[in-house]
Amino acid sequence: MTAISNSFDLDSVEWRRVTDPNCKSFRVDFEYSLLGYDLPSGRLDMLLRYVDSGHCRPHRHIASTTTLVLQGEQFLEERLPDGETRRVRRRKGDYALAPADAHPHDEYGGEEGGTILLSMTAKDGMIFEYFDENMENGWTLSLEEFVDSWNSGKVYGAAPAGNRTTILT
């Protein structure tokens, strides 16, 4: 097991910011911090912070995921198999447990943003599937790729060439 941070003090962890100026449907603007991981067990713990009403990239969790809202709010708009959209609002202190292979969703913070703790377990090593802003053209991200990107200072889950541009600032 590798701990990156021994605390989740939001003022002392290393934050990395992700934006996508090419996304025109909504403002991709969030920060993340890797707290720790265990590659053999498929475990990853991280913080995610939505800047103002910034959105995460459209995605779905392939790994089983525990979510705890630490500050502000988290909103989800899940795309259900029948084409309907389910909206979820979580406030500070709310806890959720999602099984592996969750619905694709758009995720964002409230008017004053939001910060969440995510704890994921990926039995097969895959943690996310990302999509373009139209929820199409998916690509996956493994736990190992996430950790390698953190260690090298690169953006995790960046799209394959030609899909989109994601910027780490």
Instruction: Collect all residues with Cβ–Cβ distance below 8 Å to 13 and sequence separation of at least 6.
Output: 5, 7, 33, 35, 47
> Over 60: is that where the pLDDT of 162 sits?
no
Q: Residue holding tokens 């004053």? A: 112
Question: Domain range holding 42?
Answer: 13-168
Residue 3 covered by a domain: no
Residue 7 covered by a domain: no
Q: What is the reported pLDDT for 167? A: 47
> Over 70: is that where the pLDDT of 1 sits?
yes
Residue 2 covered by a domain: no
Residue 96, domain CATH: 2.60.120.10
CA 18 – CA 31 distance, rounded (Å): 6
CA 154 – CA 132 distance, rounded (Å): 19
Please state the domain count of the chain: 1
In this prediction, residues 105-129 reach a mean pLDDT of 93
Q: What is the reported pLDDT for 157? A: 65
* CB-based contact 58:132 (threshold 8 Å): yes
CA 18 – CA 124 distance, rounded (Å): 26
CA 89 – CA 40 distance, rounded (Å): 33
Confidence of residue 164 (pLDDT cuts 50, 70, 90): very low
Residue 64 covered by a domain: yes
Residue 57 covered by a domain: yes
Q: What is the reported pLDDT for 46? A: 95
Q: What is the reported pLDDT for 160? A: 55
* CB-based contact 59:131 (threshold 8 Å): yes
Residue 152 covered by a domain: yes
In whole angstroms, how far apart are CA 92 and each of 47, 85, 113, 169? 14, 23, 11, 27
Confidence of residue 156 (pLDDT cuts 50, 70, 90): confident
In this prediction, residues 129-141 reach a mean pLDDT of 83
Confidence of residue 86 (pLDDT cuts 50, 70, 90): very high
Q: Tens digits of per-residue pLDDT, 46-66? A: 999 998 778 888 889 999 999
